[in-house]
Amino acid sequence: MDFELSPTQIERRAAVTAAVAKRLAAHETTTDPELVRLAWKNIAGSGLTGLCLPEEYGGSGLGALDTALALEAFGAACPDTGLVFGIAAHLLSCAVPVGEFGAAGARDMLAGMAAGDVIAGNAMTEDEAGSDVGRIRTTATRTEGGYVLDGEKSFVSNAPVADVFVTYAVTDPAAGFLGISAFAVPRDLDGITVGEPLPKMGLDGCLAARVRFEGCVVPDRYLLGAEGSGGAIFQHSMAWERGCLFAAYLGLMERQLAECVRHTTERRQFGRKIAGFQAVSHRVARMRLRLESARLLLYRACWLLDAGRTDVTAIAMAKTAVSEAAVANSLDAVQLFGSAGYVAGAGIDQQLRDCLPTTIFSGTTEIQLELIARETGL
Q: Which residues contact 348 (CB under 8 A, 6 or more apart)?
A: 256, 259, 330, 333, 334, 337, 340, 341
List of E strands, the chain: 120-123, 139-143, 146-157, 164-170, 180-186, 192-194, 208-219, 223-224, 268-269, 272-273
How many whole angstroms separate alpha carbon 341 and alpha carbon 349? 6
Distance CA 327, CA 141 (A): 42
Longest dimension (CA), the chain: 79
Residue length of the chain: 378
**180-186 and 223-224 beta bridge pairing:** antiparallel
Contact (CB, 8 A) for 147 and 183: yes
Residue 226's contacts (CB-CB under 8 Å, 6 or more residues apart) are none
Q: Is residue 140 helix, strand or coil?
A: strand
- Asked whether the beta carbons of 368 and 324 are under 8 A apart, the reply is no
Give the catalytic positions in this structure: 241
Residue 102's alpha-carbon distances to 22, 93, 95, 293, 308, in angstroms, are 34, 13, 10, 36, 20
What is the four-CA torsion angle of 79, 82, 85, 86, rounded to 10 degrees?
-130
